[in-house]
Amino acid sequence: MKRRDFIKTAGITSLATGSSVMASAVRADEKIKWKMVTTWPKNFPGLGTGANNLASLITEMSGGRITVKVYGAKELVPAFEVFDAVSRGTAQMGHGASYYWKGKTEAAQFFSAVPFGMTAQEMNAWLYHGNGMNLWTETYKPFGIIPAAGGNTGVQMAGWFNREIKSISDLQGLKMRIPGLGGEVLKRAGGTPLSIPGGEIFTSLKTGVIDATEWVGPYNDLAFGLHKAAKYYYYPGWHEPGTTLEVLINEKAYNDLPKDLQSIVSNACKVANQDMLAEYTARNQIALDTLVNQHKVDLRKLPDEVLIKLKSLSEEVIAEVAEKDPLSKKVFQSFTKFSQQVKNWHDVSERVYLNIR
């Protein structure tokens, strides 16, 4: 019905103006060239290649009507200027993680990872079939940016440490690279969180600028060689239980596209989102085996006592973020309500099944 209406409207436009069939600033036969800036090192496994994959999909699906050139961090703009670059239209697209932009808008943090929050499967359910995507769109609207989910890492690792973590007091005084809400929780536990772009983590850890770091998981951590800079590798990634990577799209550039290309861009993001999770799920254990068996990494689980304390600190931190502004509160309320609903379902499905298989 909608499609028929659209065709009808487009036909009228064509008759009335005698020019463009599509009510957009771009002609149907025009070749569009977009730039995508990213917060990742160029071609970095999973993240950078995920952005490349998205760019290729858009070109293929559009039959070459749009080409997207991907830039690694620092090639066009530094990692943490990706948001501004897309906002002002220096690039039409960006690929990053929304917790990097908490300085722009606090509510952004809920769309990447919430400590002890939802898994990848649950995040996608909230974004696509809860109210998540609408709220994310509302959050970025003042910046002229349209967001999309553009990848997911699944549950991450707790990170790399040079000291054993036996109790919560072992986090005191710890300078750790850990962005977003997880970083706020570390601060509450007496540590000092730093947000450092991926490409600078290894050197920061090796030279003692930081004492510890989290990055992603075995597949990505092995690629950075983090095992050469720290002794202990802890799990689980309580702070990032299913991190959504994001695609940023300049609103004007998107609105200038004909409807079919808009749909191609949006749906290519959905494909890239799903494919990245599949890649991490496929490759993480192979990389973990390499880390443990070849590089003799000391793999440890965080003690339950530490996790329980971190969980209670997380609840405090998240509740406080919700009080910072009305939008954060609205997002928090939607996130928490959906989390509880999906948790109840997963308590009788995924959880029971994973424990028994």
The residues binding Ca ion (CB under 5 A) are 156, 214, 240
**In the complex, minimum distance from the CB of residue 147 to Ca ion, in angstroms, rounded to a whole number:** 19
Pick between residue 132 and residue 197 the one whose CB is nearest to Ca ion.
197
The first and second tokens of residue 204, run together, are 């920061």
**In the complex, minimum distance from the CB of residue 178 to Ca ion, in angstroms, rounded to a whole number:** 7
**In the complex, minimum distance from the CB of residue 131 to Ca ion, in angstroms, rounded to a whole number:** 25
Torsion angles phi and psi, residue 159, rounded to 5: 130, -175
Spatial distance between the Cα atoms of 269 and 274, rounded to a whole number of angstroms: 9
Pick between residue 34 and residue 160 the one whose CB is nearest to Ca ion.
160
Spatial distance between the Cα atoms of 79 and 266, rounded to a whole number of angstroms: 23
Pick between residue 147 and residue 217 the one whose CB is nearest to Ca ion.
217
Pick between residue 109 and residue 250 the one whose CB is nearest to Ca ion.
109
Pick between residue 100 and residue 254 the one whose CB is nearest to Ca ion.
100
The first and second tokens of residue 212, run together, are 């510890």
Rounded alpha-carbon distances, angstroms, from residue 15 to 28, 35, 180, 209, 251: 16, 34, 52, 65, 28
**In the complex, minimum distance from the CB of residue 319 to Ca ion, in angstroms, rounded to a whole number:** 22
**In the complex, minimum distance from the CB of residue 188 to Ca ion, in angstroms, rounded to a whole number:** 18
Which helix (DSSP H) or strand (DSSP E) does residue 93 occupy? strand 93-96
Given a contact cutoff of 8 angstroms between Cβ atoms, the answer to whether 93 and 85 are in contact is no
**In the complex, minimum distance from the CB of residue 237 to Ca ion, in angstroms, rounded to a whole number:** 7
**In the complex, minimum distance from the CB of residue 85 to Ca ion, in angstroms, rounded to a whole number:** 22
Place of tokens 């991907």: 70
Pick between residue 240 and residue 251 the one whose CB is nearest to Ca ion.
240
- The residue with its CB nearest to Ca ion is 240
Alpha helices in the chain (DSSP H): 2-17, 47-61, 82-88, 120-129, 132-140, 180-188, 201-206, 218-224, 251-255, 259-289, 304-322, 326-347, 350-356
Radius of gyration of the chain (CA): 21
Pick between residue 246 and residue 251 the one whose CB is nearest to Ca ion.
246
